[in-house]
Amino acid sequence: MKVAVILTLTLTIVSAKVPSIKLNTGYEMPQIGLGTWQATGDPVKQAVKDALKIGYRHIDTAWIYKNEKEVGEAIHEQIGAGILKREDLFITTKVWPKDAKTAKKSLETVHHSLQQLNVTYLDLVLVHRPADNYTEVYKGLEEAVGQKLVRSIGISNFNKAQIDSLKKTWKMKPAVNQIEIHPTLNQDDTVNHCNDLGIAVTGYSPLGTGKLIKDPTLAAIGKKHNKSAAQVALRWQIERHLITIPKSVTKKYIQEDFEIFDFTLTKDEVKTIHDMHA
């Protein structure tokens, strides 16, 4: 097994339970967030409200998800209820290159997201995928930082070659690369490359889109810690110093996913999980 080289990142505690990773922009990003892919309307609104009440301080959305309005409503309702302040929260969204073909259109999409979420700034905006025009989209995000609309920018679904291609034109290094990561897809090559460049990594679909919640290897490890297979899979990402964004609209599972900071995996357990890579 080739074990991923761990990027030396400053970890701090953003609440009693949740550590964060210090990005190359100097901002703190909580290591766990609520993913909202394929969740819309009232279910996603309630999920965000539940997550914030439970203690999540990182919400991940995207223009293409068509749920920014509901996510924003949930955030402001919980701010109004005194659950948190805007400055306590890390909001990530993404620009879809197919619908933002130029730097100007990319910047317009950022403005649209700000309006939908009803906030004055975004903590992180990503180029959602490496379409042919991703350098132009990224230029728009750099301009958004210059206009103080966005604190950090990054990329999503980029591999090593695509990162190196973008490197030729970027003026600002990406703070984050968000890619699919779970025990059967450890993404060592891309994670190592990002570590070498000082780019933090967020792993989406950390439970393999639900396929790993009853995995016997993860369940056996979880039994030793009185934890579920899902909690073990998420904890594995935390042990790798990655950011993870499990998605659920069910309060029980949102709560369960959050309860991963009261145990640690042994080196042997981490290796066993790592070796599940297909």
Query: What is the spatial distance between Cα 247 and Cα 86, in angstroms, rounded to a whole number?
Result: 22
Q: How confident is the model at residue 6 (pLDDT cuts 50, 70, 90)?
A: very low
pLDDT score for 7 = 44
Residue 187 or 1, more confident: 187
Instruction: Single out the catalytic residue among 27, 56, 65, 204.
Output: 65
User: Is 121 one of the annotated active-site residues of the chain?
Assistant: no
Flag whether the pTM goes above 0.85: yes
pLDDT score for 73 = 98
CATH assignment, 11-274: 3.20.20.100
Q: Kindly state the average pLDDT of the residues 1-19.
A: 50
pLDDT score for 132 = 87
**What residues have CB less than 8 Å from 36, skipping those under 6 apart?**
44, 47, 48, 59, 60, 61, 65, 67, 71, 247
Instruction: Tell me whether residue 128 is annotated as binding.
Output: yes
pLDDT score for 102 = 94
Please give the share of the chain, as a percent, with pLDDT higher than 90. Answer: 90
pLDDT tens digit sequence for 13-44:
444 478 999 999 999 999 999 999 999 999 99
Q: Is the pLDDT of residue 8 over 60?
A: no
**C-alpha of 269 from chain center:** 24
Q: Any idea which residue has 């695509």 for tokens?
A: 162
| Structure-block tokens of residue 59 | 């919400």
pLDDT score for 116 = 98
